Structure 1
Amino acid sequence: MQDLNEILDQIPIRHDVFSYIMFLGITIGFLLSFVILLRSYKKNIAFRFLALFLIIQATITLDNFLCYTGLMKYTIGFNDSSEPLVLILGPSIYLFVYTLLKRKRIALKHSGLHLIPAILYGISQLQYYLQSDSIKLNAYLNAYFPKLKTASVPNNIDYSYLLIKDEFRWLILASFTIYILLSFRILYFYLRRQNTSLSRKTIHNKYSFTRNLVISFLIVFIIIFSIYLNYEDDSGDHYITVFVNFTVIIIALIMVSESRFFENTWIAEKYETSSFKDQKISIEEIKEFIEKDKFYLQSSASLKKLSEELNSSSNYISQVINTSTGLNFNDFINQYRIETSKLRLTDPNYSHLTIEAIGNSVGFNSKSTFYNSFRKHVAMSPKAFVTLKKAT
């Protein structure tokens, strides 16, 4: 024990720009994950996976921070304890991309399958976790302080766990490769399905946010590969950790910049006291759904039904429509119906239908409702519109 304490006392404590960035990343990672878990809509599973990623990243960074600064000597029994968590980073990013872009819930048993590699690796290292502090100290010293004296250990120690531990870096690269490819596949099919080009107004929409996150993930992979080619041990891990922490800081900045707190009119907002301000559905997403599935042609279309389809609340959807367009839900939907009815009123393929029937075909339940809405949006009756079109 005296020998162990003497060696621990030799380990220097160092603090530099790398340690400060790591400490900042730890703080922001834990804080941001807790904010997401507390404030995100309970049915928004995607951001639960993002919170999981942030918690795991912060925990791994804490481990690297202790190792890099030398503070690990005070908690030597936990050396390398976060290794299995690294194999959850890839799955957590992929599941975030999957649930956010596909808007599908994923069953626990299916998401749990992605944890199997981390669990199996953790089981394979149980022998190491149960070793004495002397063994863990020597493992730490060999990686970070190879010139310092190591602790004496018995000769009959079984080091068979090293067979897998020594290949751990390649397990990480394999995991990252698989989940980067899967994430880019989701992004590709999402963009192809939407067939949209992103404008400057939607820089931080869900596609660009997830795309940039996956690209950062790819850059991490490249950095890890470069570090592994130049370092045979863990002494280069702080470079990887610093870049990942920059990614976390950027995520925090994006989330803060998207907050309604910084809107000029947030104090006077009609819906300022709404309990749904933490939900994130844009008017572009609402329009996208309505147009793609021609939701407005359904005579049963309602605010409640739309909110259920978007997995949100009717009050929140109403808020987004009202603040973005200045229209209530009925006028918003009727705009689409009237534009479609204008096309059908002058389309020879619909010439066999009466004006009332055309109104019914675009979702209006009665002739009076169709006429009133048409006059409101076109400033003339449907019959007058047809007459005008025939004359021109």
Structure 2
Amino acid sequence: MNFQVNLYAFVLLFAFLQGLFYVYQFCKRGFSEERASDFWLAGLILALCITNIPSMLGFMGIYILGQDWWFFPQDTGLIIGPLVYFYLKTQTNAQFKFNAVDYWHFLPYVVYFFYHLLVFLSGKEGVDWWAQRIHNPFQLGNLHSVTEIVSLLVYTILSLRLYRRYRRWLPTERSDTEAMLLNWYKNFLALIVLGVVSAQVLYVLGFFVSIAYWDDWILRAIVAFNICYISFNGYLQPQPHRLIFDTNIPMESNFGSANLETAIKKTEKPDPVELEIWCKKVEVVVQTEKLYLNPELTLSDLSAKLNSNNSWVSYVINTGFQKNFNDFVNAFRVADFQEKVIDPKLSHYTLLALAYECGFNSKSTFNRAVKKATGELPSALVTKK
């Protein structure tokens, strides 16, 4: 054994150690803050670290996992997809509960793990006999590789669909969307796709040319980059306790009001007079109680104030004001800002300070909302005083 730490090994080792550090940090925060998403992300990072161990040791000159222990269950590819998917579910829904049906997502990995573990425990002679008589003749290794690639592609698609649905839902429920957009997650999914495509290319090339051990480093480097990327960005993500994106509830539900004697069905058009009355109710309660000053105001908060339900209030805002909830609330904040920015008593305030006074909680959201409502940047409004 010629132990060494060259540049190839160092890159994988660095990502591995950083991954283990963040696994500990995520678990620690998960317990202290009761964040289920932290445990899923810790599991994902750990799975990525484990799948890189054979290559990392190999580039160090340690080949035991690739030789004597080659049948040891060291590949976590079948569990990465479900972990990516369930992290998103728990990150976007603080009340998500893992139920019995969800265990089926992990069945392929469980089958792989115990199959390899049982054969491995039979000893080297048992492994050699099984490989020669069963594993290799029936192409079980190739079947596993194909299943792994399909699994990653399927769960990447499922995650992307869920992510897009979440992004469409967020402005209809929250007035503070900036910190909850999960922009980094889309980039992470793109890296997963890159890794899957790279694995496919190497797999297909293996049928025509001999793939050197060093050629596999590119794929492992992508995994290492993923470990560093999701560790850092995932740890920075906030998770408001009231963020509840329930995928079991359809995006479009029947419209109804708790104050109405009969529910208005989705296929029916509400009375224009009634709609106008409700528009006035919504506008008055937001304005008089200054609900927009709450930077974390949600559609549920507004519905509770009106003794109504989310679907009806959302319909009133979308139809009556031709806006989603986020734009509707931000319009009140922008109007308040326009009044405050010309108030001589507040001339010592910075624009950002005024924005916070009006209910905004980020500079980018503030700039975007003002631009959308007035067609100008906040600084342009100051010059018009």
1:30 matched to 2:16? The reply is no
> Residues of 2 paired with 1:34 and 1:110: CA distance?
28
In the alignment, the residues of structure 2 paired with residue 127 and residue 166 of structure 1 have an alpha-carbon distance, to the nearest angstrom, of 19
Asked if structure 1 preserves the Cα contact closer than 8 Å seen for 2:73 and 2:116, the reply is: no
Q: 1:107-256 residue pairs with structure 2 within 5 A?
A: 107-126=98-117, 128-133=119-124, 158-162=132-136, 163=138, 164-195=140-171, 202=178, 205-231=180-206, 235=213, 236-254=215-233
Unaligned stretches of 5+ residues in structure 1: 1-8, 137-152, 260-278, 301-335, 343-376, 378-392
Residue 50 of structure 1 is matched in structure 2 by 41
* Structure 2 residue runs without a partner (length 5+): 245-291, 308-328, 336-357, 359-385
Deviations 1:56-82 (A, max 9, x none): 111221222123433133895533524
2:113 is the alignment partner of 1:106: no
Structure 2 equivalent of residue 61 of structure 1: 52
Structure-2 change in CA distance of 1:74 and 1:54 (3 Å): closer
- Asked whether the equivalents of residues 77 and 152 of structure 2 are also in contact (C-alpha less than 8 Å), the reply is no
1:85/1:252 CA distance change after superposition, 3 Å: closer
What do the CA deviations read for 1:309-348 (whole angstroms, capped 9, x no partner)?
xxxxxxxxxxxxxxxxxxxxxxxxxxx8xx79x9xxxxxx
Alignment CA distance shift 1:214-1:21 (3 Å):
same
TM-score by length of 2: 0.55
From the superposition, tell whether residues 296 and 157 of structure 1 become closer, same or farther in structure 2 (CA, over 3 Å): closer
The verdict on how the C-alpha distance between 1:74 and 1:293 changes in structure 2, with shifts beyond 3 A counting, is closer
Within-5 A mapping of 1:330-345: none
Other-structure match for 2:9 = 19
- Deviation, 1:90, is 0.7
Is the contact between residue 59 and residue 82 of structure 1 (CA under 8 Å) also seen in structure 2?
A: no
Q: Which has the larger radius of gyration?
A: 1
Q: Distance in 2 between matches of 1:176 and 1:100?
A: 20
CA distance in 2, matches of 1:157, 1:194: 51
Let me know the Cα RMSD of the aligned residues.
3.9
Counterparts in 2 of 1:108 and 1:59: CA distance versus 1, 3 Å = farther
Q: Distance in 2 between matches of 1:247 and 1:74?
A: 23
Q: Which amino acid aligns with 2:222?
A: F
The percentage of aligned residue pairs carrying the same residue is: 12
Counterpart-to-counterpart distance in 2, 1:238 and 1:67 = 10
Shift of 1:42: 4.3
Higher relative contact order (CA 8 A, sep 6+): 2
Partner residue in 1 for 2:78: 87
SS across alignment from 1:115: helix
Whether 2:62 is the aligned partner of 1:71: answer yes
Shift of 1:109: 2.2
Take 2:239 and 2:166, find their aligned partners in 1: how far apart are those partners?
Answer: 18
Q: Does 1:292 align with 2:283?
A: no
Relative to structure 1, the CA distance from residue 106 to residue 24 in structure 2 (aligned partners, 3 Å threshold; closer, same or farther) is: same
- 2:240 is equivalent to residue 281 of structure 1: yes
Q: Is the 8 A contact 1:289 1:295 kept in 2?
A: no
Which letter maps to 2:154?
I
Aligned-partner Cα distance in 1 for 2:198–2:126 = 30
Pick closer, same or farther for the CA change 1:110–1:238 going to 2, 3 Å: farther
Contact 1:63 1:82 in 2 (8 A): no
Question: Using the alignment, how far apart are the partners of 1:48 and 1:127 within structure 2?
Answer: 28
| Mapped pair 1:97 → 2:88 | yes
